Amino acid sequence: MDTNQLRELQAPLKDKYREAPESAVVTMRSEAELDALGVSCRVQTGQALVEAGLHPAAGGDGSLACSGDMLLDALAACAGVTLRAVATSLGLEIRGGKITAEGDLDFRGTLGVDKAAPVGFREIRLGFDLDTDADAEQLATLEKLTERYCVVYQTLRNAIDVSTSFAKA
């Protein structure tokens, strides 16, 4: 896809959202089904069924996806797609590359070993190793815009409100 194709694809959407801002708000949803046995659940993604379970540091055997890893996967995927869209929009050639999302998690918190230990990631690092001829100024713009428009990155950075509800089936 080139710059013009991307603009043609997005132009009607941008016009629609300017004219009717409420049409830009989309409720996205994910559901997980609890297994009858074991400490795991199944999540239907857009393309595949993912079985999630405990990380080995929390007692899992490593055979199931860890939700912490899935969060990092979502960040890397979103950042990659956003980077590609921004690069296309700017007319920058990105021949390939690698995006790395890594985070530090202290399992004492999630296992209740130390109440002072945080539950969740203490830090997440997102790295880009790109095959491109873009100069330093272009890369700085690419970085700034990728951060600005990456949904998962911005959600994590801005610590939004999250609520829960419980009901009996």
Distances (CA, A) of 33 to 10, 41, 42, 137, 154: 35, 5, 5, 47, 28
Per-residue pLDDT tens over the stretch 14-44? 999 999 999 988 887 777 776 666 777 888 8
Q: pTM value? A: 0.85
Q: Are 60 and 53 in contact (CB under 8 A)?
A: yes
Check whether 1 has a pLDDT greater than 90. Answer: no
Q: Which residues contact 123 (CB under 8 A, 6 or more apart)?
A: 103, 104
* Domain spans of the chain, in order of start: 30-65, 66-159
CATH homologous superfamily for the domain 66-159: K homology (KH) domain (3.30.300.20)
Backbone φ/ψ region at 82: left (φ over 0), alpha (ψ -120 to 50), beta: alpha
